[in-house]
Structures are given as structure tokens and as C-alpha cells.
Amino acid sequence: MTEYLERTFVALKPDAVQRGITGQILHRLERAGMRLVAMKMVTADDELLMKHYSEHVDKDFYEGLKNFMQEGPVIAMVWEGVNAVENIRKLVGSTSPKDARPGTIRGDFAHMGYAHADDKGTAVKNLIHASGEKKEALEEISLWFTESEIQDYTRSDTAHVR
């Protein structure tokens, strides 16, 4: 990896899987020049979610978040590309879907805001998680994947996107 070529963790949450829009989301990431290097479908157990959301475990909303993340399978992925952490976060859009700009994944496919979720007593259904910074990406990748699960291969368009 170079200074700019990096890996990041992305998870398609149960609402993305249940709505059948995973292919469209993967297409957007690939179209942006990112390279998928690991992917698996996971049923997230309590222990995994406590580690992944460790900074939120003691917050009032954690139980709802945990329940939401266990409503169905999660597609966990590792993506690689130039400034992957920053660029994928831009593609994903604001954490609050109602504030996400059109053209982002959340802006185009989700609409729920925090107030609506609070009124319903549920977590915000925002489709996707993407690591927010390089250190977080490395921690999340190692939490969800072993090194042997991460693949190395050459895409035919590598000369154009790296």
C-alpha cells in the first residue's frame, strides 16, 4: 500500500440486504474505482456488535442499534482504493439519511431521520456503514476479517483508477 492507496471497512446493514439494493450499492463503489478485496454475509452476534460499536454500548440508543443490526444478515466488506476511507464516506453520504445529498447512497436510497426513528423507537435505517478514518478502518477490518480472507488480484482497469 502507498500513502494514498488504502483499505477501508464497509458493511451493508440489514435494511440494504432486505430491500434488495446491495448490487446497486456495490456497483457505485466499483464505478468509483474502488476494488473489493473481501466480502462475506454475517449474522452479527452480541459480542461482535459490542466490539464494533464499543463507543456506543453505554448510550441509550445502543439496544435499538443492536436490535436493528440483528434484524437480518449484514454484508461485511473490505474495499481498497486511492483515499478509500475518505472517498467512500463521500459516496455514502450523511449518517442521517434525511440530510444526505442526492447522488450519495443514503441520499438516493434512504430517507429516515433521527427524529422519525426516535418516534418509532428504532435505530435510523441508514443502509450502510463505512469507516470514518484510517485507524478505525484498520480496527474494523481486523474485527470482521482475518488476513487470509482478504484477496489480492488485479482488475483490468487498475491503470486508470490508481
Catalytic residue positions? 129
Which grid cell is 59? Answer: 448510550
For residue 124, give every residue at least 6 positions away whose Cβ sits within 8 Å of its Cβ, in sequence order, or none. Answer: 95, 96, 97, 112, 113, 114, 117
Instruction: Centre a 10 Å sphere on the Cβ of residue 24 and count the other Cβ atoms it contains.
Output: 13
Torsional sign, CA 98, 104, 108, 110:
negative
Who contacts 132 (Cβ-Cβ below 8 Å, separation ≥6)? 85, 89
- Rounded Cα distance, 24 and 30, in Å: 10
User: CB within 8 A of 130, min separation 6: which ones?
Assistant: 8, 9, 10, 85, 88, 89, 92
